[in-house]
Amino acid sequence: MTKYGYTLLSEQNSAKDLVRYAEWAEDVGFDFEVCSDHYSPWLASQGHAPNAWAVLGGVAAVTDRVDLYSYVTCPTVRYHPAVVAQQAATVQNLADGRFTLGLGTGENLNEHVVGKGWPGYPQRLDMLCEAIKIIRELLDGEVVTHYGEHFAVDGAKLWGLPDQPVPIGVSMTGPKAVARLAAFADHLINVAPDKSIVDAWRQARRAAGLDAGRAVAQVPIAWGTDRAEAVARAHDQFRWFGGGWSVNAELRTPRAFHDAAAQVRPADVADQIACGPDIDAIVDVVRAHRAAGFTDIALLQIGGGAQEPFLADAAHAVLAALRADES
């Protein structure tokens, strides 16, 4: 059966609210929770960007059943991979083995802030591969000295390693990424219902003699009792979404996202995102991701102020409908 998750979207909620929603989402019946890791929101109207690792520590403390993911962390510019390894080990200890480290090549929006520039995608892919190698060696308990093309590590060792290993999920959005990263990852992460990517992942894993792992997706929704309000909320908060990763990864500031989405209409957003009270519409979009081969699907309820009504009034019914659709 598919696992269904809840998204702790740091761009639209305060740290305290995220921890509170995480506990609530576990009580409602979600199987896992994913936490975004941004330095800046995509749009100024979203208004938040707490540190994901502090949030994950808080979430680990108030939950005891749900799996947890960073979704996703870029371990190459804003963070050094040795620091990411330490953060992951710490959260895994706090979560008693429920944590998966989600990694990706990142977005200019979050990474430029440390003043190191923003490399082109081929270099970012190289950097990610080198970073994962370092992270794995540290999580395996090795003393790591590494002087590579992109990173230097001098006699690093993690102390107090968790009893359970830290699985690594990696965002792969195209065939080049799958070809390079399939052997580095335990699980696939992608936000589009692209069956070709999931199939390529599984083929590459078989060719390398590795198990297929999990395929983890994310589906934005704008549930609400008033469809017009839900569409307006989705347009205000998520109109950048249709730009696609190849464009969005290059945009530098919330103003750039605002300008890039200036011509996107509410109707355009409603064509891409299930908006309003119709639970069947949510089931339909999730079904497309299941058909593409995803094993784990996280719902992303759009709007900071829309989390409480969703969790109180809709989440249980949505989960019941999604599970019934598989039976």
Q: What percent of the chain has pLDDT over 70?
A: 100
Q: Calculate the CA dihedral of residues 291, 270, 303, 95 and round it to 10 degrees.
A: 10
Instruction: Confirm if 35 and 18 have CB atoms less than 8 A apart.
Output: yes
∠ CA(188), CA(192), CA(196), 5° rounding?
A: 70
pLDDT at 190: 94
Place of tokens 């497309």: 288
Nearest to 271 by CA among 234, 224, 309: 234
Average pLDDT for 205-228: 96
Which residue out of 38, 187, 235, 289 is catalytically annotated? 38
Nearest to 219 by CA among 296, 281, 286: 286
Regarding pTM above 0.85, the answer is: yes
Residue 74 in any domain: the answer is yes
What letter does residue 73 receive in the DSSP assignment?
Answer: B
Residue 267 in any domain: the answer is no
Residue 239: φ, ψ to 5°: -70, -15
48 as an active site residue: the answer is no
Residue 243 in any domain: the answer is no
Residue 245 in any domain: the answer is no
Q: Report the alpha-carbon distance of residue 21 to residue 15 in Å, rounded.
A: 10
pLDDT at 241: 87
Per-residue pLDDT reduced to its tens digit, 54-82: 999 999 999 999 999 999 999 999 999 99
Residue length of the chain? 327
Q: Report the alpha-carbon distance of residue 84 to residue 74 in Å, rounded.
A: 9
User: Which secondary-structure segment (H or E) carries 227?
Assistant: helix 227-238
Residue 142 in any domain: the answer is yes
Q: Looking at this protein, which amino acid is placed at residue 322? A: L
Instruction: Confirm if 157 and 176 have CB atoms less than 8 A apart.
Output: no
Residue 184 in any domain: the answer is yes
pLDDT at 264: 96
pLDDT at 242: 81
3-state DSSP of 247-260: HHCCCCCHHHHHHH
Pairing of strands 144-147, 99-103: unpaired
Place of tokens 């792969």: 172
Q: Report the alpha-carbon distance of residue 155 to residue 172 in Å, rounded.
A: 31
pLDDT at 243: 78
pLDDT category at 245 given cuts 50, 70, 90 is: confident
CATH of the domain at 318: 3.20.20.30
Residue 176 in any domain: the answer is yes
326 as an active site residue: the answer is no
101: helix, coil or strand?
A: strand
pLDDT at 327: 82
Residue 241 in any domain: the answer is no
Per-residue pLDDT reduced to its tens digit, 138-162: 999 999 999 999 999 999 999 999 9
Which residue out of 107, 111, 130, 137 is catalytically annotated? 107
pLDDT category at 132 given cuts 50, 70, 90 is: very high
* Residue 169 confidence (pLDDT) above 90: yes
State the total domains in the chain.
1
Q: Looking at this protein, which amino acid is placed at residue 235? A: H
Task: Please give the residue range of the domain that contains residue 34.
Answer: 3-220+277-326
- Burial (CB < 10 A; 0-12, 13-18, 19+), residue 252, is middle
* Residue 104 confidence (pLDDT) above 90: yes
36: helix, coil or strand?
A: coil
- Burial (CB < 10 A; 0-12, 13-18, 19+), residue 50, is buried
∠ CA(61), CA(67), CA(69), 5° rounding?
A: 90
Q: Report the alpha-carbon distance of residue 23 to residue 16 in Å, rounded.
A: 11
Instruction: Confirm if 195 and 177 have CB atoms less than 8 A apart.
Output: no
